[in-house]
Amino acid sequence: MKVWRHHLLVSLFIAAVIALLARIAYLGTTERDFLADQGDKRSVRTVSIPVHRGIIFDRHGEPLAVSTPAFYVWADPAKTPIAAAAVPKLAQALQVPAARLEKVLERSRDRRFAYLKRHADPAAVARVRALDVAGVSFDREYRRFYPAADTTAHVVGITNIDDAGQEGVELILDDYLKGEPGKKRVLRDGRGATIRDLAYLKAPKFGQDVRLSLDLRLQFFAHQELKSAVLRHGARAASLVMLDVATGQVLAMANQPSYNPNNPVDRGGSGARNRAVTDTFEPGSTVKPLSVLAALESGRYTPDTVLDTSPGYTSVGRKLIEDPRNYGALTLTQVLAKSSQVGVTKVAMDLPQHAIFDVMSRAGLGSAPGTGLPGETLGVFTPVDLNKRIGRATMAFGYGLTVTPMQLAQTYLTLAAGGVRRPVTVFLGGHQLPDERVFEERHVREVWRMMEQVVTPQGTARAARVAGYRVAGKTGTARKVGANGEYDDDLHVALFAGFAPAVNPRIVVVVVVDEPRGALRGGGSVAAPVFSRVVARALRLLGVNPAGTAPAVMA
């Protein structure tokens, strides 16, 4: 090479270096802000600081819903496509179907963000990290966990994948439980991993805790007994509600079928419905204590007033109303104990047109219990047919109106509280509407004594007796309307509603078993035994001695 060519090449190289350095110096002084901004756009991000929802406790502090740390695994397909060869291994590590993961990546190939897995546990994240797949990133979130699973599912409710309340208390107190996420500015590398936190922009506000009135011990007993009853009698469904007489608080609310809120696959279907507040039915003979109370209020009757039910049936217009057999002369107390349709009908025909309706209305039928739980239903309770004799008769023995298990429980709460109508709540403490006296205590106490006779050997609910305790209640066996719009003799609802102890009542319990299919189908043989077993355990757990004395307010 000639000397001049060598000097030319060296000179050009030096000139290029000088020009490059000059350009760098120029950009570093005149375009500094622009370049810094462009760099930040590629590496600095404002991200959310996740917060956990408040804990839901039972009355004794047992957790019913908690938030546990988890991760979400994500990708930036538009910037860093995931290699096809890595997808099967990634799917195996995340424990998701490979076909589904491929579909997600294909659908999101032009997007800057795609979820690969939500609520991933630390073990799954560790497996993915070990694969070292380019384009896969991780961030923290929280996952809701329900320690009592299906036992408290209908009251506590569930959250969705984004931790928003969907059912039960989780839904009605969503704003209170969820809190507010914080914000921070972070520096990320080219693969999307966070290198360090740069600044905290907004402090997180964690969700507030909630304490329910449920007693998990009582809830467990109710759940197990109800489940056993459904299996034993081949029933379609069942519900149980237990209330504290002194406060109106819900101690237990169980339904069958139920569902496991920790299993997303198990959340749908009929098991997700809180039947205790959504499903309505004709209460049948469980409202007869109210008809008897109307008779006492009229001043025309006493517990010893004799009614002639011979010959075991009576006609109201073209409708024939029958008893199982001819009971002959019965006192009003015996009419209730034997659940005589004829006796109650004769009382209804003798009272003023609106007398029984008025008593039922004051007791709480036709009104919302006010728990606030999603789907709370009013049922049907109207005076439109009271101008007809048959309308008054059927209402007196529990047909022509519909109620929910919770409404029936609140009605019996009014009786157990000595004629004081008390609001119902699923929360421990907090503001409640004031009590309201709706019946004279002397009349209600007479009804108590009459209802005790229901559980004697001469009554319809011997199976409701509780060893060592005096209890009071009423059976009900209501026929259901079939597909043809007529009452079907093969479809029944078996009920028992009552309270214990019969003197100084502490708890109210309502049991409803829908469409029992076994050999036993009546309220006295299907629902009453459930009442007996649940009440026996409840009274002992609550420290109620056999004499019936107990603290006025639950601890």
Active site amino acids: 285
**Of the candidates 162, 164, 167, the residue with the CA atom closest to the CA atom of residue 175:** 164
- CA distances to 55, 231, 327, 345 from 549, rounded to whole Å, are 35, 35, 36, 37
Q: How far apart are CA 160 and CA 170, in angstroms?
A: 10
For residue 49, list its beta bridge partners: 182
Determine contact, residues 392/410, Cβ cutoff 8 Å.
no
The three-class DSSP label of residue 17 is helix
Amino acid identity at 279:
D
Q: Which helix (H) or strand (E) holds 137?
A: strand 136-145
Amino acid identity at 239:
S
Q: How far apart are CA 168 and CA 333, in angstroms?
A: 41
**Of the candidates 162, 119, 112, the residue with the CA atom closest to the CA atom of residue 135:** 112
Q: How far apart are CA 511 and CA 237, in angstroms?
A: 11
- Pairing outcome for strands 63-75 and 56-57: antiparallel
Amino acid identity at 6:
H
Fill in the DSSP letter of residue 421: E
**Of the candidates 384, 377, 438, the residue with the CA atom closest to the CA atom of residue 402:** 377
Q: How far apart are CA 267 and CA 271, in angstroms?
A: 8
Q: How far apart are CA 449 and CA 502, in angstroms?
A: 8
| Residue in the block written with tokens 């989780």 | 170
Two tokens, residue 40 = 């930040």
Fill in the DSSP letter of residue 19: H
Distance from chain centroid for Cα 524: 27
**Of the candidates 255, 286, 324, 291, the residue with the CA atom closest to the CA atom of residue 495:** 286
Cα Rg of the chain, angstroms: 34
Q: How far apart are CA 269 and CA 258, in angstroms?
A: 10
Q: How far apart are CA 341 and CA 339, in angstroms?
A: 6
- CA distances to 140, 179, 337, 444 from 352, rounded to whole Å, are 68, 56, 24, 20
Fill in the DSSP letter of residue 234: T
| φ/ψ (deg, to 5) at 142 | -125, 150
The three-class DSSP label of residue 56 is strand
Amino acid identity at 17:
V
- CA distances to 178, 190, 310, 342, 391 from 316, rounded to whole Å, are 58, 86, 15, 10, 10
- Pairing outcome for strands 194-202 and 210-211: unpaired
| Residue in the block written with tokens 């107990």 | 550
